[in-house]
Amino acid sequence: QTISGEHGLDGDGQYNGTSDLQLERMNVYFNHASGDKYVPRAVLVDLEPGTMDAVRSGPFGKLFRPDNFVFGQSGAGNNWAKGHYTEGAELVDQVIDVVRREAEACDCLQGFQITHSLGGGTGAGMGTLLISKIREEFPDRMMATFSVVPSPKVSDTVVEPYNATLSVHQLVEHSDETFCIDNEALYDICMRTLKLSQPSYGDLNHLV
């Protein structure tokens, strides 16, 4: 939503801006499709369908290619090993196929940006598996991750520190740049600066 706004795009992928610079840089994140629409070069992945349904039914749901939603049915249940070795391992080849198709459509592929959480089973377990698989497939491309670090203030899931700890080794091994997004710091900004008494995940995302 933020990137679309910065490029002057609405929820349907139509350009409404007035800047030549926006159009010049549009192809960094977007493909030009028929009907003068712009489609994000993004792959959305989860091990349960609920989040994908939420994205699809949201204001920017029509922006993405339907084929680029890749999801499982069972979820990882906040279990890093499930995301990395069992449920995630079953889905990762399907994700890599979509990533490969998007990469092959690029004129000059510079690298990959992965946005994931280090607290849950999917973001931490499957996220790090996906990073290692992409690194195998494209060893000479840049790998940047935007990794959300868990905080007890925002979630009360007891296994989040374990999931994050198991992920850090994988990030050190396979990522060129990792930008740590600290949920606790975002939470404090929402409370102290924006004066929100009960910040939601939506508020935190908007801040990022």
Q: What one-character DSSP code corresponds to residue 86?
A: I
CA distances, 66 to each of 15, 40, 53, 69, 157 (Å):
20, 11, 11, 6, 32
Using the structure block, give the residue that is written with the tokens 């404090």. Answer: 188
Domain with CATH 3.40.50.1440 in the chain: 42-207
| Joined tokens for residue 82 | 């499930």
- Mean pLDDT, range 3-29, rounded to an integer: 88
**pTM of the predicted model as reported, rounded to 2 decimal places:** 0.89
The distance from CA 171 to its chain's CA centroid, rounded to whole angstroms, is 15
The whole-number pLDDT of residue 11 equals 86
pLDDT digits (tens, 9 = 90+) for 131-187: 999 999 999 999 999 999 988 877 778 999 999 999 999 999 999 999 999 888 888
Per-residue model confidence (pLDDT) at position 208:
77
Query: Cα 20 to the chain's mean position, in Å?
Result: 28
CATH code, 42-207: 3.40.50.1440
Residue 102: what pLDDT? Answer: 94
Residue 170 confidence (pLDDT): 95
57-105 tens-digit pLDDT: 988 888 999 999 999 998 888 999 999 999 999 999 999 999 999 999 9
Predicted pLDDT of residue 2: 80
**Most confident of the ranges 25-29, 49-53, 176-180:** 176-180
In sequence order, what E strands does 6-68 have? 30-33, 37-40, 44-46
Report the distance separating Cα 177 and Cα 60, nearest Å. Answer: 28
The confidence score (pLDDT) of residue 133 equals 97
pLDDT at 81: 95
pLDDT band at 20 (very low <50, low <70, confident <90, very high): confident
For the residues 48-54, what does the mean pLDDT come to?
A: 90
pLDDT at residue 145 in the model:
97
Q: Is the pLDDT of residue 201 over 90?
A: no
